[in-house]
Structure 1
Amino acid sequence: MTQQVLLGVENISQLSWGAINGCEAASLLEGFHFNQEAVEVSYGEFLLDMPISQDGNPYHGFGGSPFKNQSGKFEAIFTCPLIEWGRKYGMLRDLSGANSSWLFDEVQRGYPVLTYVTVHFEQPKWEKYPFGLVPVNNHAVILDGFDQNRVHVSDPIDGKYWMAKEKFETIYYSRKMAVSLTK
């Protein structure tokens, strides 16, 4: 039987800062703070340091504004530019493509994992953009706990909660994008 692991990562509410699209930055900063990194950096300062993609492509930087929706933009930042930016603050490891057991292994080792999912863990709503097919209900959370049947996340929209491991894995496997905040 799997024991319960719970790291206890803080929760940063992206909405309380007016960052309706700021989930990746909030999740990343939660993980850094847990690792005692970037502790002097507020979420607002962190958002202002995030690289913005001039072409709106989340594979090049944040594709738009974390504070508003813009027509034709995909307001997100994907793993490669997120890692490049985040390495200014701490150590990161790309787990994209990994089996979910790798994510749980990282948490077991004491490392929070930024995981790309969907808002409220709903089924992905796919749309085509010039850079590819992506879920318009894109979201990022920190995976910071698990037991045999559940996972625990710190969600910048919905707070901290436990949920069914099967539901988490279903949504994670729709893209398999994750970043471990190693020490």
Structure 2
Amino acid sequence: MSSEILLNAENINQNAWGAINGCEAASMLAGLHYQHHALDINYGQFLLEMPISPDANPYRGFGGSPFKNQKGKFEAIFVRPLILWASRYGHLQDLSGANPEWLYEAVKAGNPVLTFVTVHFADPEWEQYPFGKVPVNNHAVLLDGLKADQVHVSDPIDGKYWLSKDQFERIYNLRRMAITILK
């Protein structure tokens, strides 16, 4: 691919809002805003509407609190409950299991993609929980750009930046969890 695509989605800094664990909601709302959905909702309001899992299982809702770490809880929300919640604001498509090229095709079509990765794209730090083995350095970013050998992300912790496709794919491919935010 010789041309550059940059959707230039908004960047929501989760730490500026005191939401140390709020990356999924920040990335989702940035994608919704990019598609002109939920424009009357700010990040703080959005976080307060996020479904909380009573048993701290991120496959059922957010596991804990986006505002603090709680011993024994995995503070995250995974694809299914995130889609069930956020689809009231816009059209979403589960791309979990998709090969990275599918994500790139979505971006080329003008649709940013929320992807589950790790903080700073570091090697995963796996731990076992009652619901399964997950990286405790779990993170979600919004994929919103492409060029030859790089991708662009809007990262709720580190801001907007380009990184190598190799680095992105190495971490994304560990779990292959993604959601496209459609027009």
**TM-score class normalised by the smaller sequence:** over 0.9
Taking the aligned partners of 2:98 and 2:32, their CA distance within structure 1 comes to 21
Note the alpha carbon deviations across 1:65-114, whole angstroms, 9 max, x for none.
Answer: 00000011000000000000011100000000000000000000000000
Number of aligned residues: 183
Root mean square deviation, CA, Å: 0.5
Runs of 4+ in 1 over 6 A off after TM superposition: none
Taking the aligned partners of 2:134 and 2:58, their CA distance within structure 1 comes to 10
Taking the aligned partners of 1:148 and 1:166, their CA distance within structure 2 comes to 11
Question: 1:10 matched to which residue of 2?
Answer: 10
Q: Report the residue type matching 1:182 in the other structure.
A: L
SS at match of 1:97: coil
Taking the aligned partners of 1:79 and 1:18, their CA distance within structure 2 comes to 23
Q: How far did 1:148 drift?
A: 1.2
Superposed counterparts of 1:61-140, under 5 Å: 61-140=61-140
SS at match of 1:166: helix
Aligned identity (percent) is 64
Q: How far did 1:2 drift?
A: 3.1
Q: Report the residue type matching 2:76 in the other structure.
A: A
Gaps of 5+ in 2: none
Question: 2:165 matched to which residue of 1?
Answer: 165
Q: How far did 1:151 drift?
A: 0.3
Note the alpha carbon deviations across 1:114-145, whole angstroms, 9 max, x for none.
Answer: 00000000001100000000000000000000
Q: Report the residue type matching 1:98 in the other structure.
A: A
Note the alpha carbon deviations across 1:41-66, whole angstroms, 9 max, x for none.
Answer: 01000000000000000000000000
Q: How far did 1:3 drift?
A: 1.3
Normalised TM-score (structure 2): 0.99
